[in-house]
């Protein structure tokens, strides 16, 4: 508790040159969230609102920061920052509707408490995971730099959240890229029941700034004038000279983590000391002592705020409960994009899969001046597979960005680019295996964004994947099934150069998060005649590569090539369907083929259990049962990690078992 104890000093106010009017405005601004909260606590006890995270005692931080920024500068708050929402002058009834899950809220009843954002007020709501907010702020700030706008972005985090890897990654990238972000850390002594002494070892969080090569400051978070004055000065300076700053606000959490959890574990004397530092009571005393606030004016101000709260509560309570339909809910998972097909030209070139991807990416960079690519070693070095070789020279370092090794925060930054002015991002994962280090933002930020608050995400994650290259357990996985499971993501998996080129262009045109799988073994082994000019291929359209009558083989990626080889070698009369995209999935093409042949084998490179083949199998069983002449067969890899040695890897992969499996099905 040392860092808290030391900071408990009397509040000293320095009014600078602020007019009485300005000081009264600040007083009104910190008073409002307090009075709203007091009302909410009553409603909570009456069961009229759900969970509540109290910011009582911390209002000066939210209000001071929000008041120092211009209304077109983004703020990314956390769960105790009601003062930001009120300082941005959001009509109160909309906040109340949000907390009651009603239509006039900001999430159509889909997300609770402070998990909401609004472009209208330039506020980006948090996801529960805390730390990812910091990385999103980086993307927003990067967008400001790219658009040559002199703006700062302020992002909030508690001292507990600073223990997350996201904090380290975000601060590191912001420092390396000189991003104009104010990292506002509210050190309120506790993260749920955990005191700061068990959360971090250094004396102050601000001390961490030096480790990132970042300016940092300690601010009395209970002193509205200190917060406002310091932030006004720093914001002005950052607008002029873009750079990140780490700010530690010393404050205290005066209530439970959320109302149900209480404060039994907090020593009473600590509570008492901090109660004497209440940001509102102290400011009130100061204003009275300086003859700035009269008793009558104070009463009037409070009456007006209470009146506003009550009127707006009435509006929210009178609003009907939200209803929706299955169709409506399903139609809000993906941003609607108007797909416009660009037909391929007649001029062709015989190229490899890797060349097709590189060419497509290059043409997209030329077509979309708002497209940025990010990844490890992609600039001077051209990427580990050389797909971006020469890009730096043509497009410059602003758009071809080498990143530190930090998948999570870069994916968060890509999302931030979408939020601030719809800047498109392609992120190259060095290997698809490393997406595990960026899993959280994919699943929780990107996938849920449109459904939660109608915000699209023009983010394409390029995923060099797959086995057959003797690369062992950490450089060989094909992990598409981790993502096809999650609503809100699109999953593309081409097997040929022609498809890869057109599908990548479509992916970049799209405004939804997309995982674009590129098989490493196919990179340099598969050639095809590919139109040289830019073209697109629609998602959700499988390709029937071989026509037959005895069996349908459904596959994607490397599996398609195995199927073609076996069918050709053994002269089997088979439909071979290359799915090309797994989400959306071409169900019609699958059903049509199964209905024709009556026998179906679904082939995937991935291990079988919980894979794409299992769900396709279930769909066929549910919808085509009466057309089947044999049980559905799934073929995939062994249920083990992927071994390194050639013979073991061949044993792991299903290729050598494929012919026997087909024959078993044909002979059923």
The binder of 29, among Mg ion, ligand TPP, none, by C-beta within 5 to 8 A per type, is none
| Closest residue to bound ligand TPP by CB | 158
Closer residue to Mg ion, CB minimum distance, 188 or 583: 188
Q: Tell me how far CA of residue 437 lies from CA of 165, 471, 486, in angstroms.
A: 10, 19, 17
Choose from Mg ion, ligand TPP, none: what does 128 bind? Cβ within 5-8 Å by kind: ligand TPP
End-to-end CA distance of the chain: give it in Å, rounded: 73
- The values of phi and psi at residue 452, to 5°, are -70, -45
Binds 523, which of Mg ion, ligand TPP, none (CB < 5 to 8 A, cut-off by type)? none
| 551 phi, psi to nearest 5 deg | -160, 150
Shortest distance, CB of residue 182 to Mg ion, whole angstroms?
18
Taking CB within 5 to 8 Å according to partner kind, which of Mg ion, ligand TPP, none is near residue 161? ligand TPP
Q: Which residues pair with 363 in a beta bridge?
A: none
CB of 184 to ligand TPP, least distance (A): 12
Q: Indicate the residue among 361 and 442 with the shorter CB distance to ligand TPP.
A: 442
- The answer, yes or no, to whether the previous bond of 584 is cis (omega within 30 of 0) is yes
- Using CB under 6 A, list all residues that contact ligand TPP: 80, 128-130, 158-161, 186, 188, 190-192, 253, 257
* 195 contributes a contact to Mg ion by CB under 5 A: no
Our CA dihedral for 115, 119, 123, 126, rounded to 10 degrees, sits at: 30
Binding-site partner at residue 6 among ligand TPP, Mg ion, none, CB < 5 to 8 Å by type: none
CB of 146 to ligand TPP, least distance (A): 30
Q: For residue 503, count other CB atoms closer than 10 A to its CB.
A: 26
SS3 493: coil
Of residues 162-191, which lie at the interface with Mg ion (CB under 5 A)?
A: 188, 191
Please identify, using beta-carbon distances, which residue of 188 and 403 lies nearer to Mg ion. 188
Instruction: Kindly tell me the burial class for residue 325, based on how many C-beta atoms sit within 10 Å of its own C-beta (0-12, 13-18, 19 or more).
Output: exposed
Q: Provide the token pair at 354.
A: 């890797």
Number of residues that bind Mg ion (CB under 5 A): 5
Q: What element of type H or E holds 232?
A: helix 224-240
Nearer to ligand TPP, 110 or 257 (CB): 257
In angstroms, how far is CA 655 from the centroid of its own chain?
37
Token pair listed for 194: 């955990």
Q: How far is the CB of 209 from ligand TPP (least distance, A)?
A: 18
Comparison of 107 and 222: residue with beta carbon closer to Mg ion: 222
Q: 131, 132, 158, 242: which one contacts Mg ion (CB under 5 A)? A: 158
Spatial neighbors of 553 by CB under 8 A, at least 6 apart, are 563, 567, 574, 575, 576, 577, 600, 601, 602, 603, 662
Q: How many CB atoms are closer than 10 A to CB 664?
A: 12
Helices 20-45 and 59-68, axial angle in degrees (round to 10): 130
- In angstroms, what is the minimal distance from the CB of 190 to Mg ion? 5
Tell me the C-alpha distance between 191 and 198, whole Å.
10
Active site residues: 475
Give the tokens for residue 180.
């104009």
For 218, half-sphere exposure in the C-beta direction (CA atoms, 13 angstrom radius) is 14
Give the whole-angstrom CA distance, residue 96 versus residue 436: 38
Nearer to ligand TPP, 58 or 455 (CB): 58
- Residue 582 to residue 602: CA distance in whole angstroms: 13
Cβ of residue 251: shortest distance to Mg ion, in angstroms? Answer: 9
We find the least distance from the C-beta atom of residue 130 to ligand TPP, in angstroms, to be: 5
- Tell whether residue 138 is a contact of Mg ion (CB under 5 A): no
Alpha carbon distance 7, 385 (integer Å) = 53
Partner from Mg ion, ligand TPP, none contacting 257, C-beta within 5 to 8 A by type? ligand TPP
Closest distance of CB 164 from ligand TPP, Å:
6
| Binding of Mg ion by 87 (CB under 5 A) | no
Stretch of residues binding Mg ion (CB under 5 A), selected from 159-167, 204-212, 240-248, 402-410: 159-167
Nearer to ligand TPP, 66 or 594 (CB): 66
512 binds, among ligand TPP, Mg ion, none (CB under 5 to 8 A by kind): none
Q: Which is nearer to Mg ion, 155 or 461 (CB)?
A: 155
Binding-site partner at residue 344 among ligand TPP, Mg ion, none, CB < 5 to 8 Å by type? none
Q: Which residues bind Mg ion (CB under 5 A)?
A: 158-160, 188, 191
């Amino acid at each position: 508790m040392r860092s808290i104890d030391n900071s408990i000093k009397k509040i000293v106010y320095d009014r600078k040159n602020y007019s009485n009017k300005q000081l009264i405005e600040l007083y009104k601004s910190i008073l409002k969230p307090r009075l709203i909260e007091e009302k909410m606590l009553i409603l909570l006890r009456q069961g009229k609102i759900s969970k509540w995270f109290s910011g009582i005692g911390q209002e000066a931080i939210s209000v001071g920061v929000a008041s120092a920024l211009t209304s077109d500068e983004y703020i990314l708050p956390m769960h105790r920052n009601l003062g930001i929402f009120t300082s941005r002058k959001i009509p109160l009834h909309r906040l109340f509707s949000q907390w009651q899950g009603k239509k006039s809220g900001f999430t159509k009843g889909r997300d609770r408490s402070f998990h909401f954002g609004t472009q209208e007020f330039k506020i980006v709501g948090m996801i529960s995971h805390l730390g990812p907010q910091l990385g999103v702020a980086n993307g927003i700030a990067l967008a400001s730099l790219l658009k040559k706008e002199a703006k700062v972005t302020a992002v909030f985090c508690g001292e507990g959240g600073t223990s997350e890897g996201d904090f380290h990654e975000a601060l590191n990238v912001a420092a390396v890229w000189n991003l104009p972000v104010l990292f506002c850390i509210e050190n309120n002594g506790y993260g749920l029941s955990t005191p700061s002494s068990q959360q971090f070892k250094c004396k102050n969080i601000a001390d961490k700034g030096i480790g990132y090569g970042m300016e940092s400051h300690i601010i009395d978070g209970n002193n509205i004038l200190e917060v406002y004055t310091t932030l006004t000065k720093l914001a002005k300076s950052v607008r002029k000279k873009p750079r990140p700053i780490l700010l530690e606000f010393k404050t205290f959490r005066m209530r439970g983590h959320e109302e149900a959890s209480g404060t039994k574990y907090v020593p009473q004397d600590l509570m008492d000391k901090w109660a004497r530092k209440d940001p509102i009571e102290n400011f009130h005393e100061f204003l009275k002592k300086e003859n700035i606030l009269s008793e009558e004016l104070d009463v009037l101000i409070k009456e007006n705020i209470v009146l506003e709260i009550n009127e707006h509560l009435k509006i929210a309570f009178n609003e009907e409960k939200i209803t929706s339909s299955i169709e409506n809910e399903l139609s809000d998972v993906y941003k609607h994009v108007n797909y416009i097909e660009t037909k391929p030209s007649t001029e062709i070139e015989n190229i490899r899969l890797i060349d097709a991807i590189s060419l497509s990416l290059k043409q997209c960079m030329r077509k979309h001046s708002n497209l940025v690519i990010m990844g490890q070693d992609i600039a001077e070095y051209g990427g580990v597979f050389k797909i971006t070789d020469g890009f730096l020279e043509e497009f410059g370092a602003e758009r071809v960005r080498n990143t530190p090794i930090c998948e999570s925060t870069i994916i968060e930054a890509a999302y931030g680019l979408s939020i601030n002015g719809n800047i498109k991002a392609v992120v190259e994962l060095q290997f698809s295996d490393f997406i595990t280090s960026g899993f959280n933002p994919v699943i929780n930020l990107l996938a849920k964004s449109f459904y939660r608050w109608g915000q699209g995400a023009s983010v394409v994650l390029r995923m060099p994947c797959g086995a057959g290259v003797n690369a062992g357990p950490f450089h060989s996985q094909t992990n598409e099934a981790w993502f096809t499971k999650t609503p809100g993501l699109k999953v593309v998996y081409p097997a040929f150069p022609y498809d890869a080129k057109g599908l990548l262009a479509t992916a970049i045109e799209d405004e939804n998060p997309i995982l674009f799988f590129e098989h490493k073994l196919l990179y340099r082994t598969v050639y095809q005649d590919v139109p040289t000019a830019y073209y697109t291929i629609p998602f959700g359209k499988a390709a029937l590569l071989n026509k037959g009558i005895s069996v349908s083989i459904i596959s994607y990626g490397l599996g398609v090539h195995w199927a073609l080889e076996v069918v050709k070698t053994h002269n089997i009369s088979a439909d071979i369907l290359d799915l090309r995209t797994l989400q959306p999935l071409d169900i019609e093409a699958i059903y049509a083929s199964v209905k024709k042949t009556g026998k179906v084998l679904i082939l995937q490179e991935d291990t079988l259990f919980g894979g794409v083949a299992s769900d396709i199998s279930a769909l066929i069983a549910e919808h085509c049962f009466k057309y089947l002449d044999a049980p559905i067969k799934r073929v995939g890899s062994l249920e083990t990690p992927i071994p390194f040695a050639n013979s073991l890897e061949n044993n792991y992969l299903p290729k050598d078992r494929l012919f026997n499996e087909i024959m078993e099905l044909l002979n059923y």
